[in-house]
Chain A
Amino acid sequence: MELYKNGLNVPEILTRWYESEKLLNYGAFIPFVGIVRDENNISGLSFDVYEPLLKNWFENWVSRAEKDGAKLKFAHSIGDVLVHESSYVSAVLSPKREVALRLIVEFVEDFKANAPIWKYDLIDSKRIYAESRSKKIIGSGLLA
């Protein structure tokens, strides 16, 4: 798991992951790159991360992938990420493409639903919580 302040250096991250894994006999390497779109008058997005829980969430996913003989990679931004920059890169490596294709979908979807990261729109230099696009984490309402 890798966390960086501001936008990600996607070519460096993907090249490094590819170079470090290409001799380990994985037949499939499937990266996913999120790019900030120019929409709704935003100048970019901004992110808060709760690292202790994110680390646990990712370690659970690493264990789950290992049971299928696969490996996961994950990088995310903290702070401001401007339009057309990237805030999120992940990848699955597996000996079998079917496993890698399934896992990248499950991993990215669970990331959106349960990873402890908060997104804000950057509009006129203000951070506005993207509440309508956010999802309650499983178990929400425990203290209500």
Chain B
Amino acid sequence: MVKIEFLGPINREAEYFNIKNLNDLAEILKNDSELIDWLEKSAVAINGKLVFDRNIELKSGDVVAILPPVCGG
């Protein structure tokens, strides 16, 4: 299972899915009306590294983080 973390203001508990890549995740999350607006403005990290390709292979134990707009300092 792959852990999905929804960070910062998305304010939602982590979920676990049996998925092979980010295309699978996008298919699942696009039906979630609470998330649609966040997905358009969020970046994605796998195991603590930003990714830019939905085809990267995921394996059980991976952690995918959904990162909405940031403002530190």
Contact = CB atoms under 8 A, between A and B. Distances in A.
Interface in B19-73: 22, 25-26, 29, 36, 39-45, 47-52, 54, 63, 65-73
A117 B68 CA distance: 10
Main secondary structure of the interface of A (DSSP, over half): mixed
B9 A118 contact: yes
A138 B50 contact: yes
Interface of A: 34, 47-48, 50, 52-53, 55-56, 76, 87-88, 108, 111-120, 129-131, 133-144
Given A118-B70, A134-B71, A141-B40, 16 more contacts: A48-B9, A52-B47, A53-B48, A53-B67, A55-B48, A56-B49, A116-B45, A131-B9, A134-B68, A135-B69, A135-B71, A136-B69, A137-B50, A137-B67, A142-B22, A143-B22
A139 B66 contact: no
A139 to B, nearest CB: 5
Contacts, number: 117
A5 B54 CA distance: 35
B7 interface: yes
Nearest to B35: A143
B69 A131 contact: yes
Given A87-B73, A111-B73, A131-B9, A143 B25 contact: yes
